[in-house]
């Protein structure tokens, strides 16, 4: 009997699975943030958000810290939006636990 239900489940490669899950979480969080910002975001603030997204995606704590400092200094309202967004905040907190 060649029933699909009888075949063992394939196990994802640990590094690949966690990387894919991280990418999906970052994408979802920053897409949601972008939708929330809507028309209020200028090209400059969108560039800042995209730089923060890239640093978060790379799990680069130094770049995340630099981007957060820049946003806080240049775009106070965007800083408020970032810190109030639960998904983005959760990602930054995770990076903080990794050494941010």
Residue-wise pLDDT for 15-55, tens only, equals 566 888 999 999 999 999 999 999 999 999 999 999 999 99
CB 23 within 8 A of CB 57: yes
Is residue 8 included in any domain, yes or no?
Answer: no
Q: Reduce the DSSP state of residue 9 to 3 states and report it.
A: coil
Instruction: Please tell me the total count of domains within the chain.
Output: 1
Q: What are 1-18's pLDDT values in tens digits? A: 445 444 444 455 555 668
Is residue 71 included in any domain, yes or no?
Answer: yes
Query: Taking Cα atoms as reference points, which of 12, 16, 29 lies closest to residue 94?
Result: 29
Residue 20 to residue 40: CA distance in whole angstroms: 31
pLDDT at 99: 67
- Please measure the distance between the N-terminal and C-terminal CA atoms of the chain and give it in whole angstroms: 53
Is residue 93 included in any domain, yes or no?
Answer: yes
pLDDT at 25: 94
Is residue 36 included in any domain, yes or no?
Answer: no
pLDDT at 13: 57
Is residue 37 included in any domain, yes or no?
Answer: no
Residue 25 to residue 2: CA distance in whole angstroms: 36
How many residues in the chain? 100
Region 68-83 average pLDDT: 94
Is residue 22 included in any domain, yes or no?
Answer: no
Is residue 1 included in any domain, yes or no?
Answer: no
Domain interval for residue 50: 43-100
């Amino acid at each position: 009997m060649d029933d699909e239900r009888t075949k063992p489940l394939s196990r994802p490669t640990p590094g690949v699975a966690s990387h894919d899950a991280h990418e999906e979480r970052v994408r979802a969080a920053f897409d949601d943030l972008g939708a929330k910002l809507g028309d209020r975001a200028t090209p400059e603030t969108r560039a800042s958000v995209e730089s923060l997204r890239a640093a978060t995606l790379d799990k680069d704590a130094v770049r995340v810290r630099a981007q957060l400092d820049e946003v806080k200094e240049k775009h106070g309202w965007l800083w408020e939006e970032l810190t109030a967004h639960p998904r983005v905040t959760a990602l930054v907190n995770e990076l903080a636990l990794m050494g941010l």
